[in-house]
Structures are given as C-alpha cells and as structure tokens.
Amino acid sequence: MRRFTPGNRITLLRNGTEYFPALEHAIAAAQRDIYLECYIFAADVTGLRIADALQAAAGRGVAVHVMVDGWGAKNFLSPYLIDALKTGGVHFAKYRPSVAPWHFRTRRLRRLHRKLVCIDDTVAFVGGINIIDDMNTPGHTPPRLDFAVRVEGPVAGAVVQTMKHLWALIQFARMKDVGDDLFPPPPHSPRAGDQTAKLVIRDNLRYRREIEQAYLTAIHNARSEILIANAYFLPGVRFRRALVDAAERGVKVTLLLQGRVEYVLLHYASRALYGQLLAAGVEIQEHHKSFLHAKVAVIDRRWATVGSSNIDPFSLLMSREANIVVRNAGFADELRNAVRHIMASGGKRLVPGDWRNRSTVHKAAVWAAYGFVRFIMGVLGYGAEDRLHTGE
C-alpha cells in the first residue's frame, strides 16, 4: 500500500458545475501532455465541450491521450465523436471493448471504472464524475450528486504514474506504441500545499485490496464518527462487521445511500443488509431527491476519501478504481459539510421498526435479489468467505 505524502494542495469539487470548468481551465493551460480516463464519455453538451478542449490542446502540440471503458461508454460515446477526437490529433483507446452477451466470463466485468486526469505531470483530477452532463441525464432528476478533487503536489505524480502505466500496458497488449515505458517512474511533482494524502487504486494484480483495506483501517481506528456516502452499497462481511463493531463501541456511524432505483437487482439486493446494520445502531439515510452518485467518506473529521469506488463487489473485487485519501481536518470538514447538506436537503432516515415491518412482498423481493447476486458472484468465482455472506 502506498504511503501518505505531505505537501499537497487538494481542492474539493462538487458536481459537474465545479468540476468541468476546473477541468477545462486545466486543459487550456496544458503545455506537454494530457491523460484522461473515464468510464463514460457522453456525446452530450458537456462531452462535446471537453472534446473540443482536448482537440484544441492537441492542435497546439500537446500529446493528448483519452481512454474510455468499452462497456461503460458504448451507449454514450458516438462513432462521430471518436472520429472527431482522432482526426483532431487525440490518441484514443478503449479499455476491454465489450464482450459479447453470450460470453459469460469473469473478465467481462473487469472494467475501467476510475475517473482520472493528469496534465503536465503537475495537476491531476480524481473522483467519481464521468464526462457527462449531470444536469441533463435521461431518466434522472438533476443534478447528479458527485464529487471530485483537483490535486497538486507529490500525489499528482502518483496519478501520472498509474495512468501512464495503464496506457502503455494497453498499447503493448495491442502491439501499438510498444516503445512506451510499461513501468514509468513517478515524475517529480513539487510541494504545492500543506495537506497529507495518498492515491489508492484497485486493479487485478498488485493492488487488489488497497481501497477496501484503506476503508477498513480507517473504520477500525475510528473513535467518534464515520460518515459514508455511496451510490451502490453491497459490502462483504468484513466491511459490515467493521461498521457494526464501530457502532457497538460508540462510534456514530451514518450511511447516506441511493434511494432511487437505477439498477433493480443491485437496489434490492443491497437492502438485504439493512436489518443487520440498523439493529447494530448504524444510521441509514436514503437520498430520493435526485440521483446520488457520490463515493466519499469522512472519519473522525480528519480522514477523508473521494474517488470512483463504490462499496460493492464490482468496485472492490473487479474494476479498476482510484480514490484519494486525505488526512487533513480542513478538507475533511469541508467534505463532511457537503455530505451533511445533501442529507439535510434530500435524505430520508430509515426507522428500524418501520424497516422490520415492511411488507412480505418487499422482503421477498429483497432476499430474492440478494440470493441471485450471491449466485452470480459465485459463478464468476467471487463467492469466497469474505464476499457476500450476511453474517446474520
């Protein structure tokens, strides 16, 4: 696991209204190279703005590299936009182009889910925001609630290193630009502030458990408060036990979760875990006002994380993910206040008694969904003891 590094300046960005202007400004200032990774790159108003900025950078001689997930972007990124990017001088790649529906294999779920940008080895962006208009997403009430950070300092160098490694790896596998360094050294990124932070990633080789372990370590060490906002919440037994243990030793544990139905199966499966958590004293709030896409946490008002990783099997066990972990009271308080504002404006607290007394039909749907997800995870080889047992 990487170590915490001092000397960073990390700026919290709330939703696309703050993220995209900051990203466009950084792209416009680029002089040497740009790397951008995302799960979704939509051909909507926002996507076209970012694409124009990337093409303009390429036009003035900046080496621009864009990588999208082959599965996540397939229904959003039009062939026209891909052609425009390539014609404009942008190096474009897809991570794991979609596997055919009848190929039921584990690797089809190993997606590029992280959202990263690095510019000139000095500025980076990390978070959960895709290149898509969060004020005009079909089927969702605006805005989509999410977070990202702008990073300057030594941690930006770690972002650069992991992005250049993945780009070189994909090109090597496809016999393109094989001269790229598969294991680039971290660039020198000078101190830019007084915040201590580190980049944590999840891949399918060296860093399989880094993000989950970062959460577990912070939860085990919590003394007063754990606040987690997460869009897709279906943790394994170790994670749930850590939350229950924290609540039982007097830590105030609050979960802000997505209340609206997006993926029906995951929505109902995750609710099979509510009873155990509520019985232990964990407070659960569901956000129904708009679409919650956040993947953040604050612990003891001094430890905070912002990133792409949900707390579910797909993020913690399969996808490539990236989070920033910050140890700074000022940043932690800023993020905590932002999450608390979301809760105050659109959260609905679950009452343990009401949850126990929900209808038989609802209970049956929840457990059927949960059982099916467990079955699928087992078929895919992810049914080991620390995955999806209820602990009840």
Q: How confident is the model at residue 381 (pLDDT cuts 50, 70, 90)?
A: low
Decide: helix, strand or coil at residue 325: strand
Cα radius of gyration rounded to whole Å, the chain? 21
pLDDT of residue 383: 45
Share of the chain above pLDDT 70, in %: 90
293 classed as catalytic: yes
Q: Which residue has the higher pLDDT, 138 or 199?
A: 199
Helices (H), 69-153: 79-87
pLDDT of residue 67: 96
Contact yes or no for 32/63 (Cβ under 8 A): yes
Contact yes or no for 92/84 (Cβ under 8 A): no
Element spanning 368, H or E: helix 360-379
pLDDT of residue 98: 62
Mean pLDDT taken over the chain: 88
Amino acid identity of 158? A
If you average pLDDT over residues 126-152, what whole number do you get?
87
Nearest one of 85, 91, 47 to 67, comparing CA atoms: 91
Amino acid identity of 317? L
91 classed as catalytic: no
User: pTM for the whole thing?
Assistant: 0.91
**d(C-alpha 54, C-alpha 66), whole Å:** 9
- Beta-carbon count within 10 A of 60 CB: 10
Catalytic pick from 33, 52, 120, 245? Answer: 120
Catalytic pick from 113, 164, 267, 287? Answer: 113
Lowest average pLDDT, out of 96-110, 176-190, 295-309, 369-383, goes to 96-110
65 classed as catalytic: no
If you average pLDDT over residues 67-93, what whole number do you get?
90
**d(C-alpha 41, C-alpha 244), whole Å:** 38
The torsion region of residue 153 among left (phi > 0), alpha (psi -120 to 50) and beta comes to left
If you average pLDDT over residues 326-351, what whole number do you get?
95
**d(C-alpha 123, C-alpha 226), whole Å:** 30
Per-residue pLDDT tens over the stretch 157-209: 999 999 999 999 888 777 666 566 777 777 888 899 999 999 999 987 888 89
Per-residue pLDDT tens over the stretch 275-307: 999 999 999 999 988 889 999 999 999 999 999
Catalytic pick from 203, 300, 333, 386? Answer: 300
Q: How confident is the model at residue 256 (pLDDT cuts 50, 70, 90)?
A: very high
Token pair of 322, please? 């990236």
**Which domains, from first to last, does the chain contain?**
5-198 (3.30.870.10), 202-379 (3.30.870.10)
**d(C-alpha 64, C-alpha 55), whole Å:** 8
Upper half-sphere CA count for residue 86 (Cβ side, 13 Å) = 10
Nearest one of 60, 67, 57 to 26, comparing CA atoms: 57
354 classed as catalytic: no
Q: How confident is the model at residue 391 (pLDDT cuts 50, 70, 90)?
A: very low
Catalytic pick from 65, 91, 94, 115? Answer: 115
What DSSP string describes 185-251? PPPP----SSEEEEEEEE-SSTTSSHHHHHHHHHHHH-SSEEEEEESSB---HHHHHHHHHHHHTT-
300 classed as catalytic: yes
295 classed as catalytic: yes
For the chain, percent helix, then strand, then coil, each to nearest 5?
40, 25, 35
